[in-house]
Amino acid sequence: MAGNNVTITDNRNGNSAEFEILDPVVGNSSIDVRQLTSKLGLFTYDPGFQATASCKSDITYIDGDEGILRYRGYPIEQLANQSNYLEGSYLLMYGELPTAEQFQAFEASIKNHTIVHEGLMQFINGFHNDAHPMAMMVGVVGALSSFYHDSLDINNPAHRDLSAHRLLAKMPTIAALCYRHGNGLPPIYPRNDLSYIENLLHMMFSFPSEEYKISPIATRAMELVFILHADHEQNASTSTVRLSSSSGANPYACIAAGIASLWGPAHGGANEAVIRMLEEINDPAELPNYIARAKDKDDQYRLMGFGHRIYKNYDPRATIIRKACNDLLDEMEGINQPMFEIAKQLERIALEDEYFIERNLYPNVDFYSGIILKALDMPLNMFTVVFAMARTAGWISQWSEMMVDDEQRIGRPRQLYTGVELRDYVGVGER
Ligand code: CMC
């Protein structure tokens, strides 16, 4: 059959039908299987969505074989070196780099929304002091929808924009409040004279009695961590945001769902898991045992911060952040923890090991971001919160895009049913 079509034949009965092949600007084409069920009575089976394009998107492009990541067409390497997180957020949200005036207005709007409703403090104070900050983030970000009723009409573009700005602006404030609550520290309000990242560091580490001295080294490293994590097309948490919002749910609830998905160690929880793994290894002499466990088919153990579903040659974010990580460790005098030495040895051993080479298991972005955050003295249970703050730009951009996509419908996957076909109810006395 000529043209951009594919013919699918059901060899059981000889029925066949044609399906259009949709071509992207760049990357893999997709078979449009929307009529597969009506034409052939079949579903596709794809657990983990390894070969399923769930939407069209203009935002982020990844080529996992070539190690390419671009936001709106701009290579991540250029953005990491020349841009900053807030400018990158504008790019993701609106599709173009801002002019100086546009950036000024955007930054002013974000700063205007950094303070949270004081009533929200009651939610934060309601958590036990040993609550994981990610647990608090899921609850508190979801609770925003009970405070900001003036921006909940998802069919109103002005409401959508206001919600998006509020989410981007309030995430660092909420994150810092969660951290401070867990440590019995008084809340610190945002300061509009500081940049987005400086403000986060200020709200986390200042005291009412003493201002925190914001280090340019820390600010620069955090800018990098944030911009590298800002978006990553249809990953688990972003897909969760899209699936939640496909029912028309409000953006605060949907971003809370994204935070919940991100928390898992196979996704955003990996940066925390990397440090827990390095702490557990503790002694370089133990490394061979851990490598052996990771390779053992009968052991569930995995090396955290290694491997990626999409990147099979290298993770371009890891290449950028690896250098920054090494520079930071060199730059920070006195930072000579044995953990960093274990990390370097682990990286080297894994990169030379057949098991890891065969399976394309390279250190991913979270291997190095975990080490950077540790070097900056970021508390361990805040690592995934940092990822959540950074990914908010991507979540709200993908959500905003979806809201104006005519092809989007409520997300409703089908299944391959493998349970009991039919049976009669049996009373409790007869079971
Ligand atoms: N350590 C040891 N073996 C591994 C690892 C690992 N970290 N990751 C994958 N494998 C093995 C796995 O056992 C399998 O081996 P075999 O073919 O012999 O059965 C093979 O590699 C393929 O693994 P998979 O589970 O089919 O790969 P996946 O694409 O479904 O999973 C992943 C990708 C990232 C979930 C996985 O590599 C992993 O669990 N890594 C550790 C957690 C981690 O660092 N996650 C952060 C990802 S980057 C940040 C983000 O995007 O969220």
pLDDT attached to residue 1: 41
Q: How confident is the model at residue 218 (pLDDT cuts 50, 70, 90)?
A: confident
Q: Which helix (H) or strand (E) holds 398?
A: helix 383-403
- Whether 305 is in the pocket of ligand 1, judged by its Cβ within 6 Å, is yes
> Residues 326, 80, 71, 274: is their CA dihedral positive or negative?
positive
Kindly give the number of the ligand 1 atom that is closest to the alpha carbon of 268.
Answer: 52
pLDDT attached to residue 313: 83
Q: How confident is the model at residue 371 (pLDDT cuts 50, 70, 90)?
A: confident
**Distance, CA of 343 to CA of 37 (rounded, Å):** 50
Q: pLDDT by residue (tens digit) across 54-75?
A: 999 999 999 999 999 999 999 9
At which residue do the structure tokens 């780099």 appear?
Answer: 97
pLDDT attached to residue 333: 67
Mean pLDDT of all residues in 157-166? 97
pLDDT attached to residue 82: 97
Long-range CB contacts for residues 310-315, cutoff 8 Å, separation at least 24 = 310/62, 310/64, 311/62, 311/64, 311/67, 311/360, 311/362, 311/364, 312/64, 312/65, 312/360, 313/64, 313/65, 313/66, 313/67, 313/360, 313/362, 314/67, 314/362, 315/67, 315/362, 315/363, 315/364, 315/365
pLDDT attached to residue 159: 96
pLDDT attached to residue 344: 87
Name the β-bridge partners of 17.
8
Question: What counts of helices (H) and strands (E) characterise the chain?
Answer: 18, 6
Q: How far is the CA of 122 from the centre of ligand 1 (A)?
A: 40
Q: pLDDT by residue (tens digit) across 277-307?
A: 999 999 999 999 999 999 999 999 999 999 9
Q: How confident is the model at residue 3 (pLDDT cuts 50, 70, 90)?
A: low
Q: How far is the CA of 305 from the centre of ligand 1 (A)?
A: 9
Q: pLDDT by residue (tens digit) across 413-423?
A: 999 999 999 99
pLDDT attached to residue 338: 80
Q: How far is the CA of 141 from the centre of ligand 1 (A)?
A: 29
Q: pLDDT by residue (tens digit) across 206-216?
A: 999 998 999 88
pLDDT attached to residue 336: 62
- Alpha carbon nearest to ligand 1 atom 21, residue: 359
CB 192 within 8 Å of CB 171? no
Write down the mean pLDDT value for the chain: 94
Q: How confident is the model at residue 334 (pLDDT cuts 50, 70, 90)?
A: low
**Distance, CA of 269 to CA of 134 (rounded, Å):** 10
For a mutational test of ligand 1's pocket, the pick from 306, 310, 362, 369, i.e. the residue with the most ligand atoms closer than 8 A to its C-beta, is 306
Residue 206: how many CA atoms within 13 Å on its side-chain side?
20
Q: How far is the CA of 306 from the centre of ligand 1 (A)?
A: 7
Kindly give the number of the ligand 1 atom that is closest to the alpha carbon of 237.
Answer: 52
Name the β-bridge partners of 207.
210
Q: How far is the CA of 254 from the centre of ligand 1 (A)?
A: 27
- Whether 179 is in the pocket of ligand 1, judged by its Cβ within 6 Å, is no
Q: Which residues are catalytic?
A: 267, 308, 366
- Whether 201 is in the pocket of ligand 1, judged by its Cβ within 6 Å, is no
Residue 360 Ramachandran class (φ > 0 left, ψ -120 to 50 alpha, else beta): left
**Which of the two residues, 162 and 325, has the higher pLDDT score?**
162
Q: pLDDT by residue (tens digit) across 10-62?
A: 999 999 999 999 999 999 999 999 999 999 999 999 999 999 999 999 999 99
Name the β-bridge partners of 10.
15
Mean pLDDT of all residues in 82-100? 98
H helical segments located in 128-245: 133-143, 157-182, 196-205, 216-228, 236-245
